[in-house]
Structures are given as C-alpha cells and as structure tokens.
A and B are shown apart, each in its own frame.
Chain A
C-alpha cells in the first residue's frame, strides 16, 4: 500500500475542548513524518458517549454527521484509542452492513487509524527525535488494547525517546483506570475506587510522568493525581514525543 501523505485529523471532542495540546502534538508528529494535515472544521464528536450509554438512535445521528465530515479523507488519524474503536468497531453496530451507510462505514473504518498505529504500522516511524529526561510509565488504555488489539506501537515510540527511563507500571495492561465514559459519573464511587488503584500503581512505579493514548483515561488519571497531591503528571504520549511535557524537577 502506498503510504498516505494526506491525513485528515479526527481531533476528538475531548482533545478539542479539554486539551488542544494533544491535537497540536498529533499535527506536529504527522507533519514531521512528511504528511500534510487537514483538519475538517465541521467535525464534532463520534457519538461514543451516547452509544456507550445505550442511546443508539442519538449515536447514529452523530455518526452520520461524522461520516459526512470525513467522506473525502484519504486517511483519518485520531489521537484516541476509544474514539478510533468507535469508528472502526462500533459504527458497524449502528448501520446495516449491506446498506449504503453500512458500506460507507466499512470504507471509512478501514482508513481510520489511532495515531500511534498510523505512525508505527503505516508510516513505519518509531524514532521521532523525542527527548525527555525522566522516568516514564505507560498506561495501556483498554480500547486501544482490546478493541483495536494494539500492544506494540505506543511502546515502540516510547522506547526511542532519548533520555527517558521506562518504568514498569504494575497492572498497566490489566487494570482499567476506571474512566469508562459516562460510567465515571453514573457509578462515581466504583470509578474512583478503580482510579485509586491506578494512582497507587503510578506512585509505586516512581514515574515522573505517565503517558497514555486516550484523552478519557488521561482526564481520569490526571484528575486523581492532582486531587491526591501525587508527584507524577499524566500526558498524552504525543505530547511527550513532541517535547510538550515539562522535564521533572530534579532538585
């Protein structure tokens, strides 16, 4: 397959509203890898919150809008494992596979990628020239890990960060951070009990920062870290790779 050079960025509503740095980091990584980045301005959300809450009719309407916005894209790249799985896995549940919309879903799902997967598996990039002097822990987000089955691409990128010491995070791949979308506010006590376990693991790892590939998990983990006065901070992997993460205080 010819490497796509024209990339449409699916920003995700969380990065758009809460953390533009993530989206800028994604743009920078893609441009440095030689891609032209296009940002369709009519994009909003993929409908995941409605879908996960059982509101499929509403999710379907939002998905239709998404399909229209990204209709002409050559490759669609998104800095979130769960938003990418919404498009790649769950859109199929919303439309009859044999219908025109179902076929459109299949066509666009095939050209939609989570950011690290696109960099590593499609562009063949692992060394992006990143530098960070500190201890880094990686939290494997559940959707990237299990819906998209991705175990290697984030780590391949991390391993090439000059100066970074990768520390093992106990339960990195087995313990969910407890975010779960609307789960976090529907059953907040369970959600934060799960979060506490994640925070304890991060503290025990001695990491200066924890990185992940999903804005949802990061919202949860950073919310817990700051509330509990923990030392570590949580960032999107793309932010670490583009020098947007402050070096740890070495006093």
Chain B
C-alpha cells in the first residue's frame, strides 16, 4: 500500500472536511466506547484484570526467545510447520512458495492486520493467485481497492449506500430496495460461500500464540476464520512474534480482556483454538504452516523505552476513545496501524523519516492509556518519540532540519530566556504589549501573524494582563516578596 504517514496533517484536514466520514466516525466510535464502558462496568475486577493482562504480555516479552522456541517445538510436535520470516517480503514469499508447491489457485483470507502489514494480498495477486478477503469489512475494502481505517472495524469509513454501490459495480448484484444491511450481507455471503468451497488454502492471522501448547487463537464474530481454517486443506497463519503468551491458562485473562475492550462483548461469537494439523480421522486442514514474523519487532524489542508497545493485542480501544482518531479516522495516519497505538508503532516500523508526524498527532490527553487492556504507556511513548524526531532532525546536519528550523530556534530562545528572569520578564512584557495592541474588548480576534494566525483562525485569545502577576506581587509586597 501507498504510505502517506508523512502527510498526516494534510490527510487529517481532508478527513475533517468529509461530512460522510465525520458522521460515520462519530457513530462508530461512540458505539464502541459505550459498549466497552458497559462491558467493563459489569466486570468489577476489570482494573485488576488489566494489571494481569499487562503482566502476562510483559512476561511473554521478558521470556520471548525461550517461549518462541517452545512454541515452535509444540507446533511441530502436533504435526505443524513453523517458518521464521525476517521481514514482510520473506513472509509473503513463504506463503507464495507454499501455495505454488501445493498447486493452490484460490486462497481465502480471514481478517489479519499482520497480513495488511506485509501487504500480502498485493503479493499474492502479483504471483497469480486469487486471494479473497472473507471478513465482511475487509471484503468490501478489497472489492473497492481500499484499505482498513480501523484495526477492528476495517470499513468503518464506508456507509451502507457506498457498500451497495461497490457490490453493484464489482459483483453485479443490486441490493433490492428495502433489503438494507441484511440484503447486503446476503449478497456477500453468497459470493463468499463459493470461495470458501473452492479454496485450497486459508490464510489467517492470530490473536494469541500459546507457547505451552503450540495453540493459536483466533477471535472473530463472523465465522469466516472458522471456515478459513477448516475447509481448505492447508492453513497458513501469519503470526507476529509478539503474539506469544506463555501458558494456556493465560487465555483465561486475555480472552476476557480482548472482546470487552474491543467490541464491548463478554465473549466473541467465535473463539477458534487451533492446535496442530488434523490427525488421521480428524476434520480440518491436513497441513498447518505458521509463519512467525519479525518485520521490525526485534528492533522494538531491543528498545528499552518502547518495548512495551509490543504488548499490544490490537483491540482498537485506544482508537475509539482517542479524540484525534474520532475526528480524523484511520486513513489520516497513512499506514496500516492508526490511532494512538499506530502513532507509537508506525514510526517504529516505517522509520522516523516517514513516521515523524505521527507522534505529534495527539493532545496527550491520556484516554488511550486509561482503556488499554495491557496498560501500554502510549502518551509517554509519544513524548519519547517526539524527542527522537527532534534529535533525528538535528543529527543529520548538526543543524535543525528546515521543517523545524524556526521551532528549534524558538525553543532555544525560550530556554535561554527561561533561565534569566530579567530577560524572561522583558520578553514577556513585549509579547503582552504586542498582543494587547491587537486586542479589543478583552480578546484578540483573527490576527495574521505567524503561530498566532493558527490560534486565532477558529478561536479567540483572551488578552493578556497589562502587568504580569509577578510584577503585581512585587508591588503588593514591596521588597518582602523579592527573594530572588
């Protein structure tokens, strides 16, 4: 996919001016937020559960090398194959080679952010396979050559009218009048059913990979993952190495946290536990291939300050509560992972050069941390990344890069003045006088000056005081107050 994360501010402005998107975002995030609140409220120990979730995922990271080897061993024991992929290209190539060697023509896919990350569909199509998304949202997007704007509800940005139009154009199926959303579901079901029955390979992601048993867990609501992992004779799972949990029992915690945080469900409609390939006399895929993907994860793993972002279980709760995501939607972030967690991990996967705007796409309100089921310190990580962006901008040339030159200069001046009370006093007195000269009736309206223009285009600025508090205090207390 085309990465536009370096154009976040432009993407965001476009999104803000799209009334359809604004309506869709408001409805969807509002619904998710309320459903989550209800589901959390009915579970009195939810805060403690978050602590447990954090501890489990952190333990998995602390013991990652050992647990990955254990997982591999267990999968092989149960007749599966494990492949290690260094990057997206490796992972896609493994899948392509498998498909070729097995004479596969049609592949069904269930929803997976990891395969979005590797851009698998594109690679499969290039290689001549027919790969069909079977999650309804993903299927709509695939038909429209679009990509997800939400981790969980990928087509959150499409209205039902747009979906009807896509089905009409691409499937030549008109939704009968008054058939509404159920009608659209029927069209999709009919089209997908034939794909399920003809596919020789199913490709999925995984929500959890249990080291103790070699089990992968896929949580879903449509049953398409269940079909994708049982009907075709070969199942290939793309699994990021951070999906590991140590023990089967850990799922008792994680499977309470994930659906409640994600959709506000106590439990998803389907929870698939898949351990090994089908043995003699069992139904299911004869071959199971698990591709363990690095693609930058080991780099994050080695990063002391940001390692915690690998605890993410992709529930999407931080997106829904984020006031920035609520306004701009997922596409503004310009890559696979949107919202607060995307602003943390995308710059790590893409590099700061392409991801430099994302850590700034936040008011640092902290709502994301408050809902995170594994307590990722997202606001603090954003601050850390902001610092790295600034350092990176200066590092290359020893001077601040052009795009931040004035900002860097301003903060240098700020630091010089803030350590010299006389200079600080003088500078701020000039600033106050300037602002007061632009004010009328106690407020400053639209002003065409740098920075100030950005503040005053949509809001006023209360005029500053004629005298600062410190000056006033000095007068009140005479020499008594001046202890400096």
Q: Give residues in A with beta carbon < 8 Å to B.
A: 11, 13, 15-20, 23-24, 38-45, 47, 49-59, 61-62, 64-65, 69, 90, 93, 142-143, 145-147, 174-176, 178-181, 183-195, 197, 219-220, 222-224, 226-227
Q: Is there contact, CB below 8 Å, between A178 and B323?
A: yes
Q: Could you tell me the distance between the alpha carbons of A174 and B326 in the complex, rounded to whole angstroms? A: 12
Given contacts A59-B415, A223-B459, 4 further A-B contacts (CB under 8 A): A40-B484, A54-B391, A183-B364, A222-B460
**Which residues on B sit within 8 Å (CB–CB) of A20?**
465, 467-469, 472
Q: B458 within 8 Å of A by Cβ?
A: yes
Q: Is there contact, CB below 8 Å, between B455 and A53?
A: no
**Which residues on A sit within 8 Å (CB–CB) of B417?**
44
Given contacts A17-B465, A50-B415, contact A41 B474 (CB under 8 A): yes
Q: Could you tell me the distance between the alpha carbons of A56 and B384 in the complex, rounded to whole angstroms? A: 9
Q: Could you tell me the distance between the alpha carbons of A11 and B424 in the complex, rounded to whole angstroms? A: 14
Q: Is there contact, CB below 8 Å, between A41 and B470?
A: yes
Q: Is there contact, CB below 8 Å, between A192 and B411?
A: no
Q: Is there contact, CB below 8 Å, between B366 and A227?
A: no
Q: Is there contact, CB below 8 Å, between A146 and B369?
A: yes
With beta carbons under 8 angstroms apart, the residue of B362, B386, B459 that contacts A54 is B386
Among A42, A44, A61, A176, residue most surrounded by chain B Cβ atoms (within 10 Å): A44
**Which residues on B sit within 8 Å (CB–CB) of A179?**
363
Q: Is there contact, CB below 8 Å, between A188 and B482?
A: no
Q: Could you tell me the distance between the alpha carbons of A17 and B470 in the complex, rounded to whole angstroms? A: 9
Q: Could you tell me the distance between the alpha carbons of A53 and B454 in the complex, rounded to whole angstroms? A: 16
Q: Is there contact, CB below 8 Å, between B428 and A93?
A: no
Q: Of residues 397 to 448 in B, which have CB atoms within 8 Å of A's CB atoms?
A: 407-408, 411-412, 414-415, 417-419, 421, 424, 428, 431-432, 443, 445
Q: Is there contact, CB below 8 Å, between A223 and B365?
A: no
Stretch of B9-17, B192-200, B251-259 at the chain-chain interface:
B9-17
Interface of A is mostly: helix
Given contacts A17-B465, A41-B470, contact A220 B419 (CB under 8 A): no
**Which residues on B sit within 8 Å (CB–CB) of A39?**
470, 473, 477, 481
Beta-carbon nearest neighbor of B368 in chain A: A146
Q: Is there contact, CB below 8 Å, between A193 and B327?
A: yes
Given contacts A62-B415, A62-B418, A183-B360, contact A19 B462 (CB under 8 A): yes
Q: Is there contact, CB below 8 Å, between B459 and A192?
A: yes
Interface of B is mostly: helix
Beta-carbon nearest neighbor of B458 in chain A: A192
Q: Could you tell me the distance between the alpha carbons of A149 and B424 in the complex, rounded to whole angstroms? A: 32
With beta carbons under 8 angstroms apart, the residue of B327, B383, B445, B468 that contacts A52 is B383
Q: B389 within 8 Å of A by Cβ?
A: yes
**Which residues on B sit within 8 Å (CB–CB) of A19?**
462, 465
Q: Is there contact, CB below 8 Å, between A142 and B455?
A: no
Distance to closest chain B CB from A203 (angstroms): 15
With beta carbons under 8 angstroms apart, the residue of A16, A23, A142, A220 that contacts B459 is A220
Q: Is there contact, CB below 8 Å, between B414 and A190?
A: no
Beta-carbon nearest neighbor of B13 in chain A: A189
Q: Is there contact, CB below 8 Å, between B362 and A189?
A: no
Q: Could you tell me the distance between the alpha carbons of A53 and B412 in the complex, rounded to whole angstroms? A: 12
With beta carbons under 8 angstroms apart, the residue of B361, B388, B390, B411 that contacts A187 is B361
Q: Is there contact, CB below 8 Å, between A58 and B421?
A: no
**Which residues on A sit within 8 Å (CB–CB) of B451?**
185
Category for how many chain B residues contact A:
35 or more
Q: Is there contact, CB below 8 Å, between A44 and B327?
A: no
Q: Is there contact, CB below 8 Å, between B483 and A38?
A: yes
Distance to closest chain A CB from B377 (angstroms): 11
Given contacts A20-B465, A180-B363, A219-B462, contact A53 B483 (CB under 8 A): no
Residue-wise interface mask of B (346-365) relative to A, using a CB-CB cutoff of 8 A (1 in contact, 0 not):
00000000000001111111
Distance to closest chain B CB from A84 (angstroms): 15
8 contacts between A and B (CB under 8 A): A18-B464, A41-B474, A53-B386, A142-B366, A180-B362, A184-B455, A189-B12, A219-B462
Beta-carbon nearest neighbor of A27 in chain B: B473
Q: Is there contact, CB below 8 Å, between A51 and B383?
A: yes
Q: Is there contact, CB below 8 Å, between A176 and B363?
A: yes
Q: Is there contact, CB below 8 Å, between A190 and B327?
A: yes
Q: B461 within 8 Å of A by Cβ?
A: yes
**Which residues on A sit within 8 Å (CB–CB) of B9?**
186-187
Distance to closest chain A CB from B441 (angstroms): 9
Q: Could you tell me the distance between the alpha carbons of A65 and B473 in the complex, rounded to whole angstroms? A: 21
Q: Could you tell me the distance between the alpha carbons of A163 and B367 in the complex, rounded to whole angstroms? A: 33
Q: Is there contact, CB below 8 Å, between B363 and A44?
A: no
**Which residues on B sit within 8 Å (CB–CB) of A142?**
363-367
Q: Could you tell me the distance between the alpha carbons of A177 and B272 in the complex, rounded to whole angstroms? A: 42
Beta-carbon nearest neighbor of B412 in chain A: A58
Distance to closest chain A CB from B56 (angstroms): 24
Q: Is there contact, CB below 8 Å, between A58 and B464?
A: no
Q: B387 within 8 Å of A by Cβ?
A: yes
Beta-carbon nearest neighbor of B305 in chain A: A93
Q: Is there contact, CB below 8 Å, between B481 and A41?
A: yes
With beta carbons under 8 angstroms apart, the residue of A16, A180, A183 that contacts B468 is A16
Residue-wise interface mask of B (158-188) relative to A, using a CB-CB cutoff of 8 A (1 in contact, 0 not):
0000000000000000000000000000000
Q: Is there contact, CB below 8 Å, between A42 and B454?
A: no
**Which residues on B sit within 8 Å (CB–CB) of A57?**
415
Q: Could you tell me the distance between the alpha carbons of A186 and B482 in the complex, rounded to whole angstroms? A: 37
Distance to closest chain A CB from B433 (angstroms): 11
Q: Of residues 310 to 339 in B, which have CB atoms within 8 Å of A's CB atoms?
A: 321, 323-324, 327-328
Q: Is there contact, CB below 8 Å, between A55 and B470?
A: no
With beta carbons under 8 angstroms apart, the residue of A15, A181, A185, A193 that contacts B454 is A185
Q: Is there contact, CB below 8 Å, between A195 and B459?
A: yes
**Which residues on B sit within 8 Å (CB–CB) of A40?**
483-484
Q: Is there contact, CB below 8 Å, between A11 and B469?
A: yes
Given contacts A93-B383, A227-B460, contact A42 B421 (CB under 8 A): yes
With beta carbons under 8 angstroms apart, the residue of A15, A16, A45, A226 that contacts B443 is A226
Among B364, B461, B468, B474, residue most surrounded by chain A Cβ atoms (within 10 Å): B364
